[in-house]
Chain A
Amino acid sequence: MPIQQISTAALDIHGPKIVFTIPGINWKITETVVVGWIIIVLIFALCIFLTRNLKRSPETKRQVIAEYLVSSVNNLVRQNMGAKYMKYAPYIAMLISYAALGSLISLLGLRSMTADVNTTLTWGVMTFVLITYEKFRSNGFLGYFKSYTQPVPVITPINIISEVATPVSMAFRLFGNIAGGMVITGIIYMALAAASSALHLSFAIGPFSINVLQVGIPAVLSVYFDLFAGCIQAYIFATLTMVNVAQD
């Protein structure tokens, strides 16, 4: 079997597909947005389920889980930002849960929400706004602009670049990790299909083709790229947000 034919057929890597277009204003709703809606509904349902009739001392498992989640986020914020920034705890909890679920939803066969640079760059810009707000608050209006000329005025362009680089590098880190996992998994699938047809281990049952080597091996990669990388990158995005926003 010619290798060329196999390798071009199996590799299917694309950006988020357009699911539908809102007529009239011509807004294109992509897979990313739809997956985002699904995650919002999931988190909303989870919140309602966990916080139904709370008691002063926990009686149900649900309340213990809810208290554990809230107190672990509170501890994280208190350790990384200090007690005076506790108002950011809900935002951090949102980032962690949204980013983790947005990456983990690829386990259900949907496209990861965070494998789209629009999502991660939005969060990066949100963090940038918070960083600038906290800098204004702690340095004052003139002090903020003066801080760009520290330690010497010649260095101002470099300071501006490093200011802009923070949200961009955070966005590309999350996007690159999740999209990279997707691309590598796609390439491995293609290679396993080619290998199993070269070893005469692929069968066709009706319209489906079964490649023996594709069974089981990608699951090991999925544990790393989907579970581990998704959770770690969500945690790192939240931690970097906390470290950058807390100015002291």
Chain B
Amino acid sequence: MDMNLLAKAIVMGASAIGAGLAMIAGIGPGIGEGFAVGKAIESMARQPEASGDCTRTMFIGCAIAESTGIYAFVVALLLMFANPFIGEL
């Protein structure tokens, strides 16, 4: 069998697995944003007049908590659609 093809197949398979593994990072932001939204709703129920402030702060917090998930997603996208390792062969 052609060695180059075999190497390419291994790299592609490993990249697909790596993309899947990278997206495990989605667990973290999911749990974190869930906590944030839960607490925000709790405080809104306690003080409905402050709901505007609560919502705004919650969105910023969620956006910051989301960062790690987005980084993982960018890595997964790179591995799937702009793979830097296939060019190395």
Task: List A contacts of B67 (CB < 8 A).
Answer: 169, 172-173
Tally the A-B contacts, defined by beta carbons under 8 Å: 39
Within 8 Å by CB of B77, from A169, A177, A183, A236, lies A183
When chains A and B are docked, how far (Å) is the Cα of A76 from the Cα of B77?
34
When chains A and B are docked, how far (Å) is the Cα of A214 from the Cα of B70?
28
Expressed in whole angstroms, the minimum distance between the Cβ of A227 and any Cβ of chain B is 16
Interface flag for B60 (CB, 8 Å): yes
Interface size on A, residues (CB 8 A): 18
Asked if A172 contacts B71 (CB within 8 A), the reply is yes
Contact with A along B52-89 (1 / 0, CB 8 A): 00001001100110110011011001000100000000
A-B contact pairs, 24 of them (CB 8 A): A14-B81, A169-B67, A169-B71, A172-B70, A173-B63, A173-B67, A175-B74, A176-B71, A176-B73, A176-B74, A176-B77, A177-B70, A179-B77, A180-B70, A180-B73, A180-B77, A233-B63, A235-B59, A236-B63, A239-B59, A239-B63, A240-B60, A240-B63, A240-B64
**Additional 4 contacts, C-beta under 8 A, given A172-B67, A177-B70, A180-B77:** A14-B81, A169-B71, A235-B59, A240-B64
